[in-house]
């Protein structure tokens, strides 16, 4: 398709502007076809950016190695450019939008020289769903085009729905590495130096400008940039929720179904939970989404969720048949791997994949030949796969994908889970006493900093409210208010009893010997079963100062967990909680200043009082 054939005048104008600014050799409007995907892969293979994997072991799959400076999201270089700094809030980087655009225009000038400018129309959510949103990404990266094919619904069908004057979020992206005449990438992942990387969001004009990085969250603009940062602003303005949440379907032995959404900070195993295989007989868990949930009230007053994505962009290291069998099945074919190891027999490999690497040698994520590890562990800093190595795989390949995952109406949510890695104090599961108490729980989400991250904060809790700290496109204090408002809306409309029940879970309690006392993984189904029953007002429970906990024996003890450990998992640690509340009062809540809702201050005081007994 040619630019002139586009029906949407605004889209046409924006593409022409981008072309004039970035001066690519040519422009291609993506149709979303399989042939187009294959062509993108061929271009990257010819440029020596991708390696085709062994067709009999990993059919239809490729491995990319990024530049060592371009391996993850760059939070320091991520901006929320609202007119007023206050609207970006205390937890986002801010710059004046006009100033930021001026800086970035200088970088974009001529940045696509020697490259093709691809125009990717995409839909986050089922094409035509009333919860879905359309974006158009302009990029000079065929890696981005191929990944977007998997992660979103892309191509001509989206333009048909967009029509002549539909709303879309313009998403501008350039890797920031123009080519001289005759120059090719020739095996060197293109990107700009760190100081020139910008991941910018203009919430008021609903625009995304990304420059200098080719990597995942910085470059696949439908995901974190649109579906979370811009969508959180749309959701605030339009009265819905755009959340960093997995969505799972759970069926009990009686065949009754519920849907649960959950927010966890990074490194808590969100994708593993979304694809969990229950150990409890007769129970079944299926996946609707593993990262993002968009939720709107239905006419019946329930909150309906869709997964706006079409694929999984998951962390590879740690994924194995034990931790996530369904993910291992999902990535057996048609998968893009980034920054994994490459074995002698043309397959991928990573730390904790569950087996040592075959053969004598392996090529690490930097492209260096190394002795093949006999076990699946490597010393810190010497990993074969980068710790943030990724797979990009179509959701439809997941053996436990729920049939409803493509339902444009979404699924009705019965429960919200919040969690984090908390070795002490926080019990295995705790139900909120009210909506506002649940919002309080979401607001104090966090993980204890472990030695795995180089930090002077080891042992302290790093708060990541609602797991949204890096992904909220506006003031986090106002975001808390929005959650409170959702509860008020439901109340006013007589839907309060239909709101999802809220739970705080913690799979990561440790004993004095620093050993995990809960087996986690499939055994978490015992906790999910209690939550399931609580949604129906069943499940034996105990009112405590911190919330509603399972009564003794309400959660059956898994093999290997002693009676003492079980009691510890469900104990209310009054002294620990007093410290927790003090940390929230002194160190966490003050960050939000005058934007912190009074309701949360009152909730904090109410819990404090109950703890005093
Ligand atoms: O994903 C995890 N989940 C959720 C699974 C549905 N992980 C991995 C986190 C890193 C991404 C977990 N790790 C979980 C968990 O529930 N629990 C733990 C902690 C743990 C680790 C190892 C053991 C037990 C618990 N192993 C043994 O006890 C043998
Ligand atoms: Mn995520």
342 touches 391 (CB < 8 A): no
Q: How far is the CA of 295 from the centre of ligand 1 (A)?
A: 29
Q: How confident is the model at residue 490 (pLDDT cuts 50, 70, 90)?
A: very high
The token pair at 169 is 């979020």
Which atom of ligand 1 has the smallest separation from the CA of 315?
A: 11
Active site residues: 268
Helical spans, DSSP H, in 239-370? 270-274, 325-330
| Cα distances (angstroms) measured from residue 498 to each of 345, 418, 479 | 54, 19, 22
What does the pLDDT read at residue 458? 86
DSSP string, 341-398: EEETTS-EE-TTSSSPPSSSEEE-TTS-EEEPPSSS---TT--SS-TT-EEEEEGGG-
185 has a pLDDT exceeding 80: yes
Which ligand minimizes its atom distance to the CA of 291?
2
Residue ranges of domains in the chain, CATH in brackets: 3-50+73-239 (3.40.449.10), 243-310+402-612 (3.90.228.20), 312-397 (2.170.8.10)
Query: What is the enclosing helix (H) or strand (E) of 233?
Result: helix 231-238
Please state the rounded mean pLDDT for residues 518-525: 98
Which ligand minimizes its atom distance to the CA of 420?
1
Beta bridge partners of 154: 122
605 has a pLDDT exceeding 90: yes
Q: How confident is the model at residue 66 (pLDDT cuts 50, 70, 90)?
A: very high
- pTM score, two decimals? 0.98
247 touches 257 (CB < 8 A): no
108, with CB counted inside 10 A (0-12, 13-18, 19+), is buried
Q: How far apart are the first and last CA of the chain?
A: 70
Measured from the Cβ of residue 282, the count of other Cβ atoms closer than 10 Å reads: 11
The distance between the two most distant Cα atoms of the chain, rounded to a whole number of Å, is: 76
What does the pLDDT read at residue 459? 86
Any atom of ligand 1 within 6 Å of the Cβ of 273: yes
**Pocket probe mutation, ligand 1, options 507, 558, 562, max atoms within 8 Å of Cβ:** 507
453 has a pLDDT exceeding 80: no
610 has a pLDDT exceeding 90: yes
Which atom of ligand 1 has the smallest separation from the CA of 522?
A: 6
Please state the rounded mean pLDDT for residues 376-389: 97
96 touches 369 (CB < 8 A): no
Q: Whose CA is nearest to atom 25 of ligand 1?
A: 519
Any atom of ligand 1 within 6 Å of the Cβ of 507: yes
Residues around ligand 2, an ion, CB closer than 5 A: 291
Please state the rounded mean pLDDT for residues 583-606: 98
Rounded to whole angstroms, the Cα distance separating 334 from 53 reads 10
Q: How confident is the model at residue 429 (pLDDT cuts 50, 70, 90)?
A: very high
Percent of the chain with pLDDT over 70: 100
What is the per-residue pLDDT across 121-166, written as a single tens digit (0 to 9) for each? 999 999 988 899 999 999 999 999 999 999 999 999 999 999 999 9
Q: b or e along 503-535 (b: 16 or more beta carbons within 10 Å of the residue's beta carbon)?
A: bbbbbbbeeeeeeebbebbbbbbbbbbbbbbbb
Q: What are phi and psi of 285, to 5 degrees?
A: -120, 135
452 has a pLDDT exceeding 80: no
SS (H, E, C) 112-123: CCCCEEEEEEEE
Rounded to whole angstroms, the Cα distance separating 611 from 547 reads 11
The token pair at 320 is 């194995």
Q: How far is the CA of 370 from the centre of ligand 2 (A)?
A: 31
What is the per-residue pLDDT across 73-102, written as a single tens digit (0 to 9) for each? 999 999 999 999 999 999 999 999 999 999
Percent of the chain with pLDDT over 90: 97
For residue 373, what is the DSSP state? P
Report helix angle 9-22 to 97-108, nearest 10: 60
Beta strands in 495-613 (DSSP E): 501-505, 541-544, 547-550
What does the mean pLDDT of the chain come to?
97
222 touches 135 (CB < 8 A): yes
Q: Whose CA is nearest to atom 18 of ligand 1?
A: 520
Rounded to whole angstroms, the Cα distance separating 150 from 396 reads 10
Rounded to whole angstroms, the Cα distance separating 373 from 349 reads 10
Any atom of ligand 1 within 6 Å of the Cβ of 167: no
DSSP string, 212-225: S--SHHHH-TIIII
Measured from the Cβ of residue 366, the count of other Cβ atoms closer than 10 Å reads: 13
Among 522, 532, 575, which residue's Cα sits nearest to residue 554? 532
Any atom of ligand 1 within 6 Å of the Cβ of 558: no
Rounded to whole angstroms, the Cα distance separating 85 from 499 reads 33
Sheet holding 336-338, edge to edge: 50-52, 62-64, 336-338, 390-394, 311-315
Any atom of ligand 1 within 6 Å of the Cβ of 318: yes
467 Cβ contact list (under 8 Å, min separation 6): 244, 245, 263, 264, 265, 266, 418, 445
Place of tokens 């892309």: 154
The region, left, alpha or beta by phi > 0 then psi within -120 to 50, assigned to residue 114 is: left
Pairing of strands 257-263, 246-251: antiparallel
321 has a pLDDT exceeding 90: yes
Rounded to whole angstroms, the Cα distance separating 148 from 168 reads 16
For residue 516, what is the DSSP state? B
595 touches 477 (CB < 8 A): yes
Which 3 state secondary structure label does DSSP give 132? coil
505 has a pLDDT exceeding 80: yes
What does the pLDDT read at residue 457? 84
What does the pLDDT read at residue 451? 77
What is the per-residue pLDDT across 324-361, written as a single tens digit (0 to 9) for each? 999 999 999 999 999 999 999 999 999 999 999 999 99
What does the pLDDT read at residue 282? 98
238 Cβ contact list (under 8 Å, min separation 6): none
508 touches 265 (CB < 8 A): no
What does the pLDDT read at residue 74? 97
Q: Whose CA is nearest to atom 7 of ligand 1?
A: 269
Please state the rounded mean pLDDT for residues 198-224: 98
Q: What are phi and psi of 565, to 5 degrees?
A: -65, -40
Please state the rounded mean pLDDT for residues 235-244: 98
What does the pLDDT read at residue 526? 98
The token pair at 271 is 């994708």
What does the pLDDT read at residue 130? 87
Q: How far is the CA of 15 from the centre of ligand 2 (A)?
A: 30
Among 330, 271, 326, 322, which residue's Cα sits nearest to residue 61? 330
Please state the rounded mean pLDDT for residues 262-282: 98
Which ligand minimizes its atom distance to the CA of 271?
1
Q: How far is the CA of 265 from the centre of ligand 2 (A)?
A: 8
Which ligand minimizes its atom distance to the CA of 73?
2
| Cα distances (angstroms) measured from residue 477 to each of 445, 482, 602 | 14, 9, 15
């Amino acid at each position: 398709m040619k630019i002139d054939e586009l029906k949407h005048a605004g889209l046409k104008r924006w593409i022409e502007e981008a072309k004039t600014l970035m001066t690519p050799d040519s422009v291609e409007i993506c149709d979303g076809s399989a042939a187009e995907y294959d062509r993108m892969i061929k271009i990257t293979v010819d440029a020596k950016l991708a390696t085709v994997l062994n067709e009999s072991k990993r059919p239809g799959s490729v491995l990319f190695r990024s530049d060592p400076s371009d391996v993850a999201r760059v939070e320091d270089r991520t901006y929320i450019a609202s007119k007023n700094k206050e609207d970006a809030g205390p937890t986002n980087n801010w710059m004046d939008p006009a100033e930021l655009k001026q800086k970035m225009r200088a970088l974009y000038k001529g940045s696509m020289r020697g490259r093709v400018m691809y125009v990717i129309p995409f839909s986050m959510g089922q094409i035509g769903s009333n919860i879905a949103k359309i974006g158009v990404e302009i990029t000079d990266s065929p890696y981005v085009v191929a990944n977007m094919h998997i992660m979103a619904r892309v191509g001509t069908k989206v333009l048909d729905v967009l029509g002549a004057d539909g709303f879309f979020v313009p998403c501008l992206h350039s890797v920031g590495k123009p080519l001289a005449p005759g120059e090719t990438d020739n095996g060197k992942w293109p990107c700009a130096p760190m100081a020139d990387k910008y991941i910018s969001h203009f919430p008021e004009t609903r625009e995304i400008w990304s420059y200098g990085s080719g990597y995942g969250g910085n470059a696949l603009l439908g995901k974190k940039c649109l579906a979370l940062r811009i969508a959180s602003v749309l959701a605030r303005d339009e009265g819905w929720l755009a959340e960093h949440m997995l969505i799972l379907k759970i069926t009990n032995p009686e065949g009754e179904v519920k849907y649960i959404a959950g927010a966890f900070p990074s490194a808590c195993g969100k994708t593993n939970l979304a694809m969990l295989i229950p150990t409890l007989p007769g129970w079944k868990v299926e996946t609707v989404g593993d990262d993002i949930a968009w939720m709107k009230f239905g006419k019946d007053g329930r909150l309906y969720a869709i997964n706006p994505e079409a694929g999984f962009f998951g962390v590879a290291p740690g994924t194995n048949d034990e931790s996530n069998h369904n993910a291992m099945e999902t990535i057996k074919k048609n998968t893009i791997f980034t920054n994994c190891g490459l074995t002698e027999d043309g397959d991928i490999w990573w730390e904790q994949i569950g087996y040592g690497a075959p053969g004598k040698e392996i090529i690490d994520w930097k492209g260096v030949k190394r002795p093949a590890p006999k076990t699946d562990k490597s010393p810190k800093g010497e990993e074969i796969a980068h710790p943030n190595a990724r797979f990009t795989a179509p959701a439809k390949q997941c053996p436990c994908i729920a049939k409803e995952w493509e339902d444009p109406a979404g699924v009705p949510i019965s429960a919200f889970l919040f969690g984090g890695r908390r070795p002490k104090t926080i019990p295995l599961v705790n139900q909120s006493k009210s909506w506002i108490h649940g919002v309080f729980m979401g607001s104090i989400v966090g993980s204890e900093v472990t030695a795995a991250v180089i930090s002077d904060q080891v042992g302290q809790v790093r708060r990541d409210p609602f797991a949204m700290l890096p992904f909220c496109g506006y003031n986090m204090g106002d975001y808390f208010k929005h959650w409170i408002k959702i509860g008020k809306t439901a109340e006013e409309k007589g839907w309060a009893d239909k709101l999802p029940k809220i739970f705080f879970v913690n799979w990561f309690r440790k004993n004095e010997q620093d050993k995990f006392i809960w087996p986690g993984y499939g055994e978490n189904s015992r906790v999910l079963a209690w939550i399931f029953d609580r949604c129906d007002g069943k499940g034996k429970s105990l009112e405590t100062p911190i919330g509603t906990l399972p009564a003794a024996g309400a959660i059956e003890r898994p093999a290997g967990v002693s009676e003492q450990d079980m009691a510890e998992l469900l104990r209310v640690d009054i002294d620990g909680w007093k410290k927790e509340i003090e940390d929230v009062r002194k160190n966490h809540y003050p960050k939000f200043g005058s934007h912190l809702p009074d309701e949360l201050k009152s909730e904090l005081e109410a819990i404090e009082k109950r703890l005093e007994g």
